[in-house]
Amino acid sequence: MPPLSASIATVIALGADTLQISESAFFMIHNPWSMAMGEADDMRKQADVLDKIKETILSIYEKNSNLDRERITALMDEETWLTGSEAVEYGFADELTEGVKVAAMATTDIINQFKNKPKELIMAKEENQEQEHTSILDKIKNLLNGEDKNTELNERYAELTEEVKALKESNDDFQATLKEQETTLEEAYNALKAEKEANAVAVADKQKEVEAKEEVIASKDEEITTLNAKIEELNAKLSEETGEDLNDQGKAGENEPKAKRSFADSIREVKNKK
């Protein structure tokens, strides 16, 4: 691993099968940053995106270290610069290698935005700037003493132009990648939100359908109860005796044995006569 692995570079480094870190290297973790523009809703939405990114990074750190989630969260909140030994101790790195001299990073403007930069890195940056300043002075002296000053000056100008162009392209690529990640996370969030709302509507519709069917069943139960009552009433009437005394021939007589016949028998007799 290089002398400095900071921010998202630490997540990339953890993808290695075996991670080696120098004694003089730094492994810096912090909460995700972002830049946003717009009204209050835009700011709140951007904050939600940052929270989601932090959760993702937290899960990666937790899976690739021996620290619990609460401890990692505290380290990220504080912008923690771990030494090589600490990175191995916490399980972020697998092996500790011999120390190498720390060189200042090209992107010093970005490094300067961090609040807890270790003094070793600051001193390395100042030393590197001093060396660069001396180197430029030497080149100017050589340029002034040279025979073809314009040619060397033009070459140096071309080199500086290319360096500036490369830095600009690097920054543009970084911003484009960040924007793409934000867009992807926002789309995923909106898709989940829409799915949740759709499921809620579907559940409500099913609930209404069940309630409607329950009302139909209740209505049918009332109809069945009414029909059962009518059937019982009819059965009772069919079983009632007419009260008419009959002999064994089915005719009324004065001195012959008499019997009672039911309402049902009377109906059958009328049907048979027809």
Q: What is the pLDDT of residues 12-29, one digit of tens each?
A: 989 889 999 998 889 999
Lowest mean pLDDT among 26-30, 74-78, 174-178: 174-178
Q: Which of 53, 62, 5, 9 shows the shortest CA–CA distance to 31?
A: 53
Residue 134 pLDDT grade (very low, low, confident, very high; cuts 50, 70, 90) = low
89-115 mean pLDDT: 70
Lookup: tokens for 191: 């898709």
Q: 246-254: which pairs have CB atoms within 8 A and are 24 or more residues apart?
A: none
**Average pLDDT of the segment spanning 198-213:** 90
Spatial distance between the Cα atoms of 253 and 251, rounded to a whole number of angstroms: 6
| pLDDT > 90? residue 262 | no
> Mean pLDDT in the chain?
78
105 pLDDT tier (thresholds 50, 70, 90): very low
| Residue pair 150/64 in contact by the 8 Å Cβ criterion | no
pTM, to two decimals: 0.42
Superfamily assignment of 4-145 in CATH? 2-enoyl-CoA Hydratase; Chain A, domain 1 (3.90.226.10)
Is the per-residue pLDDT at 106 higher than 50?
no
271 pLDDT above the threshold of 50: yes
Task: Give the pLDDT of residue 74.
Answer: 94
Q: Average the pLDDT over 231-241 and give the result.
A: 77
